[in-house]
Structure 1
Amino acid sequence: MIAVDTNVLVRYLVADHPTQARIARERLAELSTDRPGFICREVMIELVWVLRRAYGFSREQVCREVEELLATEELEIEAAHDTARAIHRYRRGDADFADFMILGAAQRTGASTVWTFDRSMRRLDGVSVLDATDS
């Protein structure tokens, strides 16, 4: 198994640096089901952030790219089920992808709620937004 970092995936998907994009394509083509690439949760979260913020991908574009990675047999995605659920919810635009990944991990481990100060998460089931108003 070969761990794949965010910047390799970005070069592969965006091809904004010709030499690095070529190398990324060649290396990823070497992967197989017997010798898969591994993408950890942190890389997936960072990838979504970079594609949105640095490259201006729409939510839909990001969702399509992540779904293609999830469908690639030569890649093992850590917490693939959480990632697929997070992408499904992210597509609707309720919160950030990272928030959905946090919520998915919490639910998978049996947490009764997620405490946060992030008001954008208030509409999500399983989230308690803490009151931070001064008394």
Structure 2
Amino acid sequence: MSGRFGIDTDILLRVAVIDDPVQSDSVMNFIDKLGENDTLVVGVVVIMETSWVLERFYGYSKSAVLDFVQAILERREIEVPDYEVVGNAIDICRNSGADFSDAVISEMNRMASCKMTYTFDQKAARKIPGMELLT
């Protein structure tokens, strides 16, 4: 096995939550077979879905979710194409208590040279630099 491999949310969830031993074993065996030059590509949508499911379905604390996402960024075999966006969003959340998905949206827009991200979400506008209420 050699190359770059994308993974879906359900695969990443099996790394965080061992609620299906057969699937979790399959994921761990897959990861163990990765060679030195193999890469798992984890897109920002997968990270956002995973964080949402961990917090809302599995009851993980925001801090635990952010720790998990940070650990993903630090893995040698994982590439996150929007690494800087995700890393910045983690920092915003840790410093402000903002929602992770709102922070990612704001950071993606900032990285796309947007002057501002407009929202009706008062909490997001109050907590996230670069977000402003649309009035």
User: Scaled by the length of structure 1, what TM-score is found?
Assistant: 0.90
**Residue 48 of structure 2 aligns to a residue in which SS?**
helix
- 1:93 is displaced (CA, Å) by 4.8
Other-structure match for 2:37:
34
| In 1, Cα distance between equivalents of 2:124 and 2:36 | 37
1:65 and 2:68 are equivalent in the alignment: yes
**Residue 55 of structure 1 aligns to a residue in which SS?**
coil
> Percent identity at matched positions?
28
| In 1, Cα distance between equivalents of 2:34 and 2:14 | 16
RMSD: 1.3
- 1:94 is displaced (CA, Å) by 3.1
User: Please, which moves more after superposition, 90-99 or 16-25?
Assistant: 90-99
Deviation string 1:70-126 (CA, Å, 9 cap, x unpaired) is 110100012111111111222245321111111111111111111111122121221
Other-structure match for 1:100:
103
- 1:67 is displaced (CA, Å) by 1.1
- Count matched residues: 131
Question: What stretches of structure 2 of length at least 5 have no aligned partner?
Answer: none
1:122 and 2:125 are equivalent in the alignment: yes
User: Please, which moves more after superposition, 92-101 or 4-13?
Assistant: 92-101
Relative to structure 1, is the Cα distance of residues 32 and 66 closer, same or farther in structure 2, using a 3 angstrom cutoff? Answer: farther
Other-structure match for 1:85:
88
Other-structure match for 1:5:
8
User: Does structure 2 conserve the Cα–Cα contact (< 8 Å) formed by 1:4 and 1:39?
Assistant: yes
User: Please, which moves more after superposition, 59-68 or 85-94?
Assistant: 85-94
Question: What stretches of structure 1 of length at least 5 have no aligned partner?
Answer: none
- 1:33 is displaced (CA, Å) by 4.5
- 1:30 is displaced (CA, Å) by 2.3
User: Scaled by the length of structure 2, what TM-score is found?
Assistant: 0.90
User: Does structure 2 conserve the Cα–Cα contact (< 8 Å) formed by 1:33 and 1:73?
Assistant: no
**2:93 alignment partner AA:** Y
| In 2, Cα distance between equivalents of 1:29 and 1:6 | 19
User: Does structure 2 conserve the Cα–Cα contact (< 8 Å) formed by 1:4 and 1:38?
Assistant: yes
Other-structure match for 1:52:
55
